Structure 1
Protein backbone atom coordinates (compact mmCIF):
# COMPACT_ATOMS: atom_id res chain seq x y z
CA UNK A 1 0.00 0.00 0.00
CA UNK A 2 1.29 3.43 -0.91
CA UNK A 3 2.00 5.90 1.86
CA UNK A 4 -0.10 9.04 2.21
CA UNK A 5 1.42 12.45 1.50
CA UNK A 6 4.49 13.24 3.64
CA UNK A 7 3.66 14.16 7.24
CA UNK A 8 7.12 15.11 8.51
CA UNK A 9 5.77 18.25 10.17
CA UNK A 10 3.35 16.15 12.22
CA UNK A 11 5.71 13.29 13.06
CA UNK A 12 9.13 14.94 13.41
CA UNK A 13 8.47 16.39 16.84
CA UNK A 14 7.14 13.11 18.24
CA UNK A 15 10.04 11.13 16.79
CA UNK A 16 12.63 13.52 18.17
CA UNK A 17 11.05 13.51 21.64
CA UNK A 18 10.98 9.71 21.63
CA UNK A 19 14.65 9.53 20.65
CA UNK A 20 15.54 12.00 23.41
CA UNK A 21 13.68 9.95 26.01
CA UNK A 22 15.48 6.82 24.85
CA UNK A 23 18.91 8.48 24.98
CA UNK A 24 18.19 9.87 28.44
CA UNK A 25 16.68 6.80 30.04
CA UNK A 26 17.24 3.82 27.76
CA UNK A 27 14.60 1.23 26.97
CA UNK A 28 13.30 1.32 30.57
CA UNK A 29 12.04 4.85 29.91
CA UNK A 30 9.85 3.61 27.05
CA UNK A 31 6.90 1.30 26.66
CA UNK A 32 7.43 -1.73 24.44
CA UNK A 33 5.42 -0.19 21.61
CA UNK A 34 7.62 2.91 21.77
CA UNK A 35 10.77 0.81 21.33
CA UNK A 36 9.12 -0.74 18.29
CA UNK A 37 8.36 2.76 17.04
CA UNK A 38 12.07 3.59 17.19
CA UNK A 39 12.84 0.52 15.12
CA UNK A 40 10.23 1.42 12.52
CA UNK A 41 11.21 5.06 12.07
CA UNK A 42 13.79 4.43 9.34
CA UNK A 43 11.75 1.77 7.56
CA UNK A 44 8.52 3.79 7.49
CA UNK A 45 9.66 7.44 7.35
CA UNK A 46 6.45 9.22 6.36
CA UNK A 47 3.82 7.61 8.54
CA UNK A 48 2.82 7.64 12.18
CA UNK A 49 4.19 4.27 13.28
CA UNK A 50 2.62 4.19 16.75
CA UNK A 51 -0.53 2.38 15.51
CA UNK A 52 1.65 -0.05 13.56
CA UNK A 53 3.77 -0.82 16.63
CA UNK A 54 0.63 -1.43 18.67
CA UNK A 55 -0.79 -3.70 15.95
CA UNK A 56 2.41 -5.77 16.06
CA UNK A 57 2.16 -6.21 19.82
CA UNK A 58 -1.54 -7.05 19.59
CA UNK A 59 -0.87 -9.71 16.98
CA UNK A 60 2.21 -11.34 18.51
CA UNK A 61 1.91 -10.57 22.22
CA UNK A 62 5.32 -9.34 23.37
CA UNK A 63 8.31 -7.41 22.06
CA UNK A 64 10.34 -10.63 21.91
CA UNK A 65 7.64 -12.41 19.93
CA UNK A 66 7.46 -9.52 17.47
CA UNK A 67 11.16 -9.53 16.60
CA UNK A 68 11.26 -13.35 16.50
CA UNK A 69 8.18 -13.72 14.29
CA UNK A 70 8.73 -15.11 10.77
CA UNK A 71 8.96 -12.49 8.06
CA UNK A 72 5.85 -13.76 6.30
CA UNK A 73 3.74 -13.33 9.42
CA UNK A 74 5.16 -9.88 10.13
CA UNK A 75 4.09 -8.81 6.66
CA UNK A 76 0.51 -9.72 7.52
CA UNK A 77 0.46 -6.47 9.52
CA UNK A 78 -0.52 -3.46 7.41
CA UNK A 79 2.41 -1.27 6.26
CA UNK A 80 5.04 -3.84 7.32
CA UNK A 81 7.22 -4.54 4.29
CA UNK A 82 10.75 -5.72 3.58
CA UNK A 83 12.40 -2.64 5.10
CA UNK A 84 10.54 -2.95 8.40
CA UNK A 85 11.16 -6.70 8.56
CA UNK A 86 14.87 -6.07 8.02
CA UNK A 87 15.01 -3.60 10.93
CA UNK A 88 13.28 -6.08 13.24
CA UNK A 89 15.44 -8.99 12.15
CA UNK A 90 18.64 -7.00 12.72
CA UNK A 91 17.55 -6.52 16.33
CA UNK A 92 16.74 -10.21 16.65
CA UNK A 93 20.16 -11.18 15.28
CA UNK A 94 21.93 -8.72 17.58
CA UNK A 95 20.04 -10.04 20.60
CA UNK A 96 21.02 -13.61 19.79
CA UNK A 97 24.67 -12.72 19.26
CA UNK A 98 24.81 -10.80 22.53
CA UNK A 99 23.11 -13.59 24.42
CA UNK A 100 25.43 -16.19 22.89
CA UNK A 101 28.52 -14.14 23.74
CA UNK A 102 27.29 -13.71 27.32
CA UNK A 103 26.79 -17.45 27.56
CA UNK A 104 30.23 -18.11 26.07
CA UNK A 105 31.91 -15.93 28.69
CA UNK A 106 29.93 -17.07 31.72
CA UNK A 107 28.88 -20.63 30.99
CA UNK A 108 29.59 -23.11 33.74
CA UNK A 109 27.51 -26.04 34.86
CA UNK A 110 26.06 -23.77 37.54
CA UNK A 111 25.16 -21.01 35.09
CA UNK A 112 21.82 -22.56 34.20
CA UNK A 113 20.13 -19.17 33.92
CA UNK A 114 22.46 -18.02 31.12
CA UNK A 115 21.85 -21.21 29.15
CA UNK A 116 18.11 -20.97 29.60
CA UNK A 117 17.94 -17.27 28.69
CA UNK A 118 19.96 -17.90 25.54
CA UNK A 119 17.83 -20.86 24.49
CA UNK A 120 14.58 -19.05 25.14
CA UNK A 121 15.74 -16.10 23.07
CA UNK A 122 16.80 -18.36 20.22
CA UNK A 123 13.94 -20.85 20.17
CA UNK A 124 10.89 -20.00 22.25
CA UNK A 125 8.99 -18.21 19.49
CA UNK A 126 9.80 -20.39 16.50
CA UNK A 127 6.87 -21.78 14.53
CA UNK A 128 8.58 -25.10 13.83
CA UNK A 129 10.67 -27.46 15.93
CA UNK A 130 14.43 -26.98 16.08
CA UNK A 131 16.93 -29.28 17.79
CA UNK A 132 20.25 -27.84 18.87
CA UNK A 133 23.22 -29.17 20.81
CA UNK A 134 25.49 -27.12 23.06
CA UNK A 135 28.93 -28.76 23.16
CA UNK A 136 31.09 -28.17 26.26
CA UNK A 137 34.72 -28.76 27.20
CA UNK A 138 36.06 -30.29 30.43
CA UNK A 139 35.51 -27.01 32.30
CA UNK A 140 32.01 -26.63 30.87
CA UNK A 141 33.20 -23.88 28.56
CA UNK A 142 31.31 -23.44 25.33
CA UNK A 143 32.88 -25.20 22.34
CA UNK A 144 30.00 -24.88 19.91
CA UNK A 145 26.28 -24.29 19.69
CA UNK A 146 24.87 -26.00 16.63
CA UNK A 147 21.44 -26.63 15.18
CA UNK A 148 21.31 -30.34 14.40
CA UNK A 149 17.89 -30.45 12.85
CA UNK A 150 14.80 -28.47 11.86
CA UNK A 151 11.40 -29.97 11.34
CA UNK A 152 7.67 -29.38 11.41
CA UNK A 153 5.38 -27.94 14.06
CA UNK A 154 5.62 -31.12 16.11
CA UNK A 155 8.60 -33.15 14.91
CA UNK A 156 12.31 -32.79 14.20
CA UNK A 157 14.45 -35.68 12.93
CA UNK A 158 17.29 -36.35 15.36
CA UNK A 159 20.17 -38.73 14.72
CA UNK A 160 21.89 -39.70 17.99
CA UNK A 161 25.00 -41.15 16.30
CA UNK A 162 25.54 -37.91 14.38
CA UNK A 163 25.43 -35.95 17.65
CA UNK A 164 28.00 -38.26 19.23
CA UNK A 165 30.19 -38.12 16.11
CA UNK A 166 30.17 -34.33 16.25
CA UNK A 167 30.97 -34.34 19.98
CA UNK A 168 34.00 -36.50 19.30
CA UNK A 169 35.13 -34.19 16.48
CA UNK A 170 35.00 -31.23 18.87
CA UNK A 171 36.60 -33.22 21.70
CA UNK A 172 33.58 -32.29 23.83
CA UNK A 173 33.29 -33.67 27.33
CA UNK A 174 29.61 -32.86 27.72
CA UNK A 175 26.54 -31.73 25.81
CA UNK A 176 23.29 -29.97 26.55
CA UNK A 177 20.45 -30.99 24.27
CA UNK A 178 17.79 -28.40 23.52
CA UNK A 179 14.65 -28.33 21.43
CA UNK A 180 11.49 -26.29 21.33
CA UNK A 181 7.79 -27.10 21.34
CA UNK A 182 5.98 -24.59 19.10
CA UNK A 183 2.71 -25.53 20.82
CA UNK A 184 4.00 -23.60 23.83
CA UNK A 185 3.74 -26.58 26.21
CA UNK A 186 7.25 -27.76 27.19
CA UNK A 187 6.11 -31.09 28.64
CA UNK A 188 8.43 -33.86 27.33
CA UNK A 189 6.80 -36.43 25.07
CA UNK A 190 7.50 -40.14 25.27
CA UNK A 191 9.53 -39.78 22.06
CA UNK A 192 11.60 -37.02 23.70
CA UNK A 193 12.39 -39.31 26.62
CA UNK A 194 13.37 -42.29 24.46
CA UNK A 195 15.55 -40.16 22.20
CA UNK A 196 17.36 -38.59 25.18
CA UNK A 197 17.97 -41.98 26.77
CA UNK A 198 19.41 -43.26 23.47
CA UNK A 199 21.83 -40.34 23.19
CA UNK A 200 22.90 -40.67 26.83
CA UNK A 201 23.51 -44.42 26.46
CA UNK A 202 25.70 -43.83 23.38
CA UNK A 203 27.59 -40.97 25.01
CA UNK A 204 28.39 -42.49 28.40
CA UNK A 205 30.87 -45.22 27.27
CA UNK A 206 32.78 -42.53 25.34
CA UNK A 207 33.16 -40.27 28.36
CA UNK A 208 30.64 -37.71 27.13
CA UNK A 209 28.12 -36.52 29.69
CA UNK A 210 24.62 -35.38 28.75
CA UNK A 211 24.12 -32.61 31.29
CA UNK A 212 20.50 -31.99 30.39
CA UNK A 213 17.85 -31.94 27.72
CA UNK A 214 15.92 -28.67 27.84
CA UNK A 215 12.56 -28.28 26.16
CA UNK A 216 11.66 -24.68 25.43
CA UNK A 217 8.12 -23.37 25.00
CA UNK A 218 6.45 -19.99 24.93
CA UNK A 219 4.88 -20.84 28.27
CA UNK A 220 8.02 -22.00 30.06
CA UNK A 221 10.61 -24.74 29.92
CA UNK A 222 11.24 -28.27 31.12
CA UNK A 223 14.52 -29.80 32.28
CA UNK A 224 14.54 -33.52 31.68
CA UNK A 225 17.41 -33.86 34.13
CA UNK A 226 15.39 -32.15 36.85
CA UNK A 227 12.43 -34.36 35.98
CA UNK A 228 14.72 -37.42 36.31
CA UNK A 229 13.71 -38.74 32.89
CA UNK A 230 17.17 -40.04 31.97
Structure 2
Protein backbone atom coordinates (compact mmCIF):
# COMPACT_ATOMS: atom_id res chain seq x y z
CA UNK A 1 0.00 0.00 0.00
CA UNK A 2 1.14 3.44 -0.68
CA UNK A 3 1.50 6.19 1.87
CA UNK A 4 -2.01 7.35 2.90
CA UNK A 5 -0.82 10.87 3.46
CA UNK A 6 0.73 11.05 -0.05
CA UNK A 7 -2.44 9.58 -1.64
CA UNK A 8 -4.64 12.11 0.12
CA UNK A 9 -2.39 14.95 -0.97
CA UNK A 10 -2.45 13.87 -4.65
CA UNK A 11 -6.23 13.54 -4.48
CA UNK A 12 -6.55 16.99 -2.98
CA UNK A 13 -4.49 18.70 -5.66
CA UNK A 14 -6.15 16.80 -8.51
CA UNK A 15 -9.67 17.78 -7.49
CA UNK A 16 -9.17 21.28 -6.17
CA UNK A 17 -10.07 23.99 -8.69
CA UNK A 18 -7.19 26.14 -9.88
CA UNK A 19 -7.27 29.71 -8.70
CA UNK A 20 -7.18 32.09 -11.67
CA UNK A 21 -4.20 34.35 -11.93
CA UNK A 22 -4.74 38.11 -11.80
CA UNK A 23 -4.12 38.32 -15.56
CA UNK A 24 -6.67 35.59 -16.36
CA UNK A 25 -9.26 37.20 -14.05
CA UNK A 26 -8.77 40.57 -15.75
CA UNK A 27 -9.28 38.95 -19.16
CA UNK A 28 -12.58 37.41 -17.99
CA UNK A 29 -13.83 40.63 -16.39
CA UNK A 30 -12.87 42.82 -19.35
CA UNK A 31 -15.82 43.33 -21.75
CA UNK A 32 -15.29 43.39 -25.51
CA UNK A 33 -14.77 46.94 -26.76
CA UNK A 34 -17.71 46.75 -29.15
CA UNK A 35 -20.29 46.33 -26.37
CA UNK A 36 -19.86 49.93 -25.21
CA UNK A 37 -19.92 51.09 -28.83
CA UNK A 38 -23.24 49.30 -29.38
CA UNK A 39 -24.80 51.00 -26.36
CA UNK A 40 -23.57 54.42 -27.47
CA UNK A 41 -24.82 53.91 -31.03
CA UNK A 42 -28.25 52.77 -29.84
CA UNK A 43 -28.46 55.78 -27.52
CA UNK A 44 -27.54 58.16 -30.36
CA UNK A 45 -30.18 56.60 -32.60
CA UNK A 46 -32.79 56.92 -29.84
CA UNK A 47 -31.97 60.54 -29.05
CA UNK A 48 -31.05 62.02 -32.45
CA UNK A 49 -32.95 59.76 -34.84
CA UNK A 50 -31.83 57.84 -37.95
CA UNK A 51 -30.88 60.95 -39.94
CA UNK A 52 -28.04 61.59 -37.51
CA UNK A 53 -26.35 58.32 -38.46
CA UNK A 54 -24.51 57.58 -41.72
CA UNK A 55 -25.43 54.46 -43.69
CA UNK A 56 -22.68 52.30 -42.21
CA UNK A 57 -23.86 52.99 -38.65
CA UNK A 58 -27.47 52.16 -39.53
CA UNK A 59 -26.19 48.94 -41.06
CA UNK A 60 -24.17 48.31 -37.89
CA UNK A 61 -27.33 48.66 -35.80
CA UNK A 62 -29.02 46.09 -37.99
CA UNK A 63 -26.06 43.71 -37.81
CA UNK A 64 -26.03 43.96 -33.99
CA UNK A 65 -29.06 41.67 -33.96
CA UNK A 66 -27.76 39.35 -36.63
CA UNK A 67 -24.18 39.06 -35.31
CA UNK A 68 -24.46 39.30 -31.51
CA UNK A 69 -20.85 38.54 -30.49
CA UNK A 70 -18.58 40.48 -32.81
CA UNK A 71 -17.58 43.95 -33.90
CA UNK A 72 -19.93 44.64 -36.83
CA UNK A 73 -18.38 47.89 -38.04
CA UNK A 74 -15.88 46.20 -40.42
CA UNK A 75 -18.64 44.06 -41.95
CA UNK A 76 -20.94 47.07 -42.37
CA UNK A 77 -18.24 49.11 -44.10
CA UNK A 78 -17.21 46.16 -46.29
CA UNK A 79 -20.82 45.65 -47.44
CA UNK A 80 -21.17 49.31 -48.40
CA UNK A 81 -17.78 49.32 -50.12
CA UNK A 82 -18.88 46.31 -52.19
CA UNK A 83 -22.41 47.36 -53.11
CA UNK A 84 -22.51 51.16 -52.80
CA UNK A 85 -25.60 52.12 -50.78
CA UNK A 86 -27.69 50.69 -47.98
CA UNK A 87 -30.53 49.96 -50.43
CA UNK A 88 -28.15 48.14 -52.74
CA UNK A 89 -26.71 46.09 -49.86
CA UNK A 90 -30.20 44.86 -49.03
CA UNK A 91 -30.92 44.30 -52.72
CA UNK A 92 -27.85 42.15 -53.28
CA UNK A 93 -28.34 38.38 -53.80
CA UNK A 94 -27.50 35.98 -50.97
CA UNK A 95 -24.53 34.55 -52.89
CA UNK A 96 -22.88 37.95 -53.34
CA UNK A 97 -23.53 38.96 -49.73
CA UNK A 98 -21.67 35.86 -48.55
CA UNK A 99 -18.60 36.93 -50.49
CA UNK A 100 -18.14 39.76 -47.98
CA UNK A 101 -15.95 38.88 -45.00
CA UNK A 102 -18.02 38.31 -41.86
CA UNK A 103 -21.27 37.56 -43.69
CA UNK A 104 -22.28 33.91 -43.56
CA UNK A 105 -25.37 32.19 -45.00
CA UNK A 106 -27.57 32.87 -41.95
CA UNK A 107 -26.75 36.58 -41.83
CA UNK A 108 -27.14 36.88 -45.61
CA UNK A 109 -30.61 35.31 -45.42
CA UNK A 110 -31.59 37.56 -42.52
CA UNK A 111 -30.54 40.60 -44.56
CA UNK A 112 -32.80 39.40 -47.39
CA UNK A 113 -35.71 39.15 -44.93
CA UNK A 114 -35.07 42.74 -43.91
CA UNK A 115 -34.82 43.64 -47.61
CA UNK A 116 -38.20 42.06 -48.34
CA UNK A 117 -39.74 44.11 -45.54
CA UNK A 118 -38.09 47.30 -46.81
CA UNK A 119 -39.29 46.61 -50.35
CA UNK A 120 -42.86 46.18 -49.14
CA UNK A 121 -42.55 49.55 -47.40
CA UNK A 122 -41.06 51.19 -50.50
CA UNK A 123 -43.82 49.75 -52.67
CA UNK A 124 -46.36 51.14 -50.22
CA UNK A 125 -44.85 54.60 -50.64
CA UNK A 126 -45.37 54.58 -54.41
CA UNK A 127 -48.53 52.48 -54.56
CA UNK A 128 -51.53 54.61 -55.53
CA UNK A 129 -49.47 57.80 -55.82
CA UNK A 130 -48.44 59.82 -58.83
CA UNK A 131 -45.18 58.15 -59.76
CA UNK A 132 -44.01 60.60 -62.37
CA UNK A 133 -43.98 63.37 -59.77
CA UNK A 134 -41.24 61.56 -57.85
CA UNK A 135 -38.90 60.02 -60.39
CA UNK A 136 -36.01 59.91 -57.92
CA UNK A 137 -38.07 57.91 -55.42
CA UNK A 138 -39.20 55.56 -58.16
CA UNK A 139 -35.64 54.99 -59.33
CA UNK A 140 -34.53 54.28 -55.75
CA UNK A 141 -37.32 51.73 -55.42
CA UNK A 142 -36.37 49.99 -58.67
CA UNK A 143 -32.74 49.83 -57.67
CA UNK A 144 -33.60 48.31 -54.32
CA UNK A 145 -35.65 45.49 -55.86
CA UNK A 146 -33.58 44.59 -58.92
CA UNK A 147 -30.20 46.35 -59.17
CA UNK A 148 -28.18 43.29 -58.13
CA UNK A 149 -30.23 40.61 -59.83
CA UNK A 150 -27.85 38.13 -61.45
CA UNK A 151 -30.02 37.81 -64.56
CA UNK A 152 -31.51 40.55 -66.70
CA UNK A 153 -35.06 41.28 -65.65
CA UNK A 154 -37.88 43.02 -67.50
CA UNK A 155 -40.28 44.72 -65.10
CA UNK A 156 -43.46 46.67 -65.84
CA UNK A 157 -45.08 49.33 -63.66
CA UNK A 158 -48.72 49.80 -64.65
CA UNK A 159 -50.22 53.26 -64.09
CA UNK A 160 -53.75 54.62 -64.05
CA UNK A 161 -54.95 57.86 -65.67
CA UNK A 162 -53.51 59.87 -62.75
CA UNK A 163 -50.10 58.19 -63.23
CA UNK A 164 -50.56 56.34 -59.93
CA UNK A 165 -49.17 52.82 -59.59
CA UNK A 166 -51.69 50.02 -60.13
CA UNK A 167 -49.27 47.08 -60.18
CA UNK A 168 -45.58 46.25 -60.32
CA UNK A 169 -44.84 42.97 -62.10
CA UNK A 170 -41.82 41.10 -63.41
CA UNK A 171 -42.77 40.24 -66.99
CA UNK A 172 -39.70 38.26 -68.01
CA UNK A 173 -36.37 36.99 -66.68
CA UNK A 174 -33.56 36.32 -69.13
CA UNK A 175 -29.84 35.65 -69.13
CA UNK A 176 -26.98 37.79 -67.90
CA UNK A 177 -27.25 40.07 -70.94
CA UNK A 178 -30.61 39.45 -72.61
CA UNK A 179 -34.31 39.46 -71.72
CA UNK A 180 -37.02 38.54 -74.22
CA UNK A 181 -39.85 41.07 -74.49
CA UNK A 182 -43.22 40.22 -76.02
CA UNK A 183 -45.21 43.39 -76.83
CA UNK A 184 -48.44 41.41 -77.21
CA UNK A 185 -48.15 40.16 -73.61
CA UNK A 186 -47.38 43.65 -72.35
CA UNK A 187 -50.45 45.13 -74.07
CA UNK A 188 -52.66 42.25 -72.94
CA UNK A 189 -51.71 42.72 -69.31
CA UNK A 190 -52.12 46.50 -69.53
CA UNK A 191 -55.67 46.03 -70.85
CA UNK A 192 -56.46 43.54 -68.10
CA UNK A 193 -55.45 46.09 -65.48
CA UNK A 194 -57.08 49.03 -67.31
CA UNK A 195 -53.72 50.79 -67.28
CA UNK A 196 -53.43 54.00 -69.28
CA UNK A 197 -49.62 54.17 -69.07
CA UNK A 198 -46.72 51.86 -68.31
CA UNK A 199 -43.12 52.22 -67.23
CA UNK A 200 -40.76 49.59 -68.60
CA UNK A 201 -37.80 48.82 -66.36
CA UNK A 202 -34.84 46.54 -66.86
CA UNK A 203 -31.55 46.02 -65.13
CA UNK A 204 -28.02 45.35 -66.38
CA UNK A 205 -26.27 42.60 -64.38
CA UNK A 206 -22.87 43.68 -65.71
CA UNK A 207 -23.55 47.21 -64.40
CA UNK A 208 -25.40 46.74 -61.10
CA UNK A 209 -26.04 50.42 -60.42
CA UNK A 210 -27.54 51.01 -63.87
CA UNK A 211 -31.32 50.74 -64.30
CA UNK A 212 -33.17 51.67 -67.49
CA UNK A 213 -36.69 53.14 -67.32
CA UNK A 214 -38.95 53.98 -70.26
CA UNK A 215 -42.38 55.58 -70.03
CA UNK A 216 -45.14 54.90 -72.55
CA UNK A 217 -48.92 55.37 -72.82
CA UNK A 218 -51.27 52.57 -73.85
CA UNK A 219 -53.39 54.70 -76.16
TM-score by length of structure 1 reads 0.71
Among 168, 191, 195, which residue is 2:191 paired with?
168
Change (3 A) 1:81 1:156: same
Alpha-carbon distance in 1 for matches of 2:39, 2:214: 49
Deviates more, 1:104-113 or 1:138-147: 104-113
Check conservation: 1:39, 1:87, Cα contact below 8 A. no
Q: Does residue 218 of the first structure (1) align with residue 213 of the second (2)? A: no
Q: More helix per residue: 1 or 2?
A: 2
Alignment of 1:44-193 (within 5 A): 44-184=67-207
Structure 2 counterpart of 1:207: none
Change (3 A) 1:142 1:224: closer
Larger-gyration structure (1/2) = 2
* CA-based RMSD: 2.6
Check conservation: 2:155, 2:202, Cα contact below 8 A. yes
Check conservation: 1:57, 1:66, Cα contact below 8 A. yes
Structure 2 counterpart of 1:195: none
Among 13, 24, 49, which residue is 1:26 paired with?
49
Cα offsets for 1:16-53 (capped at 9, x unmatched) = 11111111222322232222211111221111111222
Alpha-carbon distance in 2 for matches of 1:96, 1:49: 24
Runs of 5+ unmatched residues, structure 1: 1-5, 185-216
Deviates more, 1:69-78 or 1:58-67: 58-67
Q: Does residue 9 of the first structure (1) align with residue 31 of the second (2)? A: yes
Alpha-carbon distance in 2 for matches of 1:181, 1:152: 10
Structure 1 counterpart of 2:7: none
Count of residue pairs the alignment pairs up: 188
Structure 2 counterpart of 1:187: none
Runs of 5+ unmatched residues, structure 2: 1-27
Deviates more, 1:108-117 or 1:138-147: 108-117
Alpha-carbon distance in 1 for matches of 2:79, 2:40: 22
Cα offsets for 1:48-71 (capped at 9, x unmatched) = 111222222233333232221110
Change (3 A) 1:61 1:225: closer
Cα offsets for 1:119-147 (capped at 9, x unmatched) = 23322333321111111223323221100
Change (3 A) 1:177 1:223: closer
